[in-house]
């Protein structure tokens, strides 16, 4: 179990953002999803999306927020996401569209899962920002939006 003591900073902090970007290139940023109901707690035990068992202890004056960074090491970081992760499901129409969509997802460092022929994107920001990045594919009809939903509602 990894013991985490407090909040180091936020993903929006300039120095942290630079380090996170470098770590993202190595798939070394882990996400710790904190359910909304546990947001006010000072002691939490949760598992990251990479399977790391974490015990998080907050100081009295700290408030857990979406984007809080609770671990920053040279080889990895852990970022807090509050609530059920939002997702966007995209369906490429044909092999060429699948390759283009896959290239965009990789180039843009999207966190994705493949479900059959669909690409499930875990959203770190507004859905509209993601759709804007693939607007030509959507306008051409080579990619369609299947759904935008909470991860918890996916089966």
Same domain as 64, residue 6: yes
Answer whether residue 16 shows pLDDT above 50. Answer: yes
Give the domain-ending residue among 32, 65, 82.
82
Q: In sequence order, which residues have a C-beta less than 8 Å from that of residue 69 and are 6 or more positions away?
A: 7, 8, 9, 10, 11, 13, 16, 20, 77, 78, 79, 80
Please name which of 32, 131, 132, 133 lies closest in space to residue 88, comparing C-alpha atoms: 131
Look at the chain and report how many structural domains it folds into: 2
The label of the residue with tokens 């993601």 reads 130
pLDDT in tens, 20-60: 999 988 989 999 999 888 888 999 999 998 999 999 999 98
pLDDT tier for residue 148 given thresholds of 50, 70 and 90: low
Instruction: Give the model's pLDDT for residue 153.
Output: 42
User: Which distant-in-sequence residues (6+ apart) come within 8 Å of 7 by Cβ?
Assistant: 58, 62, 64, 68, 69, 70
**Each residue of 95-105: pLDDT tens digit?**
999 999 999 99
Q: Are 22 and 34 in a shared domain? A: yes
Whether residues 95 and 77 fall in one domain: no
Tokens for 25, please give them. 């290139």
Report CA 61 to chain centroid distance, whole Å.
26
Domain residue limits at 29:
2-82
pTM of this prediction exceeds 0.85: no
Q: Are residues 111 and 76 in the same domain?
A: no
C-beta atoms surrounding 46 within 10 Å: 16
């Amino acid at each position: 179990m990894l013991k985490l003591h407090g909040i180091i900073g936020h993903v929006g902090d300039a120095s942290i953002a630079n380090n996170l970007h470098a770590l993202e290139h190595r798939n070394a940023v882990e996400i710790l999803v904190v359910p909304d109901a546990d947001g006010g707690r000072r002691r939490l035990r949760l598992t990251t999306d990479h399977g790391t068992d974490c015990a998080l202890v907050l100081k009295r004056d700290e408030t857990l927020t979406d984007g809080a960074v609770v671990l920053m090491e040279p080889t990895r970081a852990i970022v807090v996401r509050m609530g059920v992760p939002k997702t966007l499901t995209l369906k490429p129409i044909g092999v060429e569209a699948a390759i283009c969509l896959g290239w965009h997802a990789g180039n843009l460092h999207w966190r994705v899962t493949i479900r059959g022929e669909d690409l499930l994107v875990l959203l770190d920001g507004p859905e509209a920002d993601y759709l804007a990045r693939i607007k030509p594919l959507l306008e051409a009809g080579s990619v369609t939006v299947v759904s935008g939903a909470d991860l918890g509602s996916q089966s």
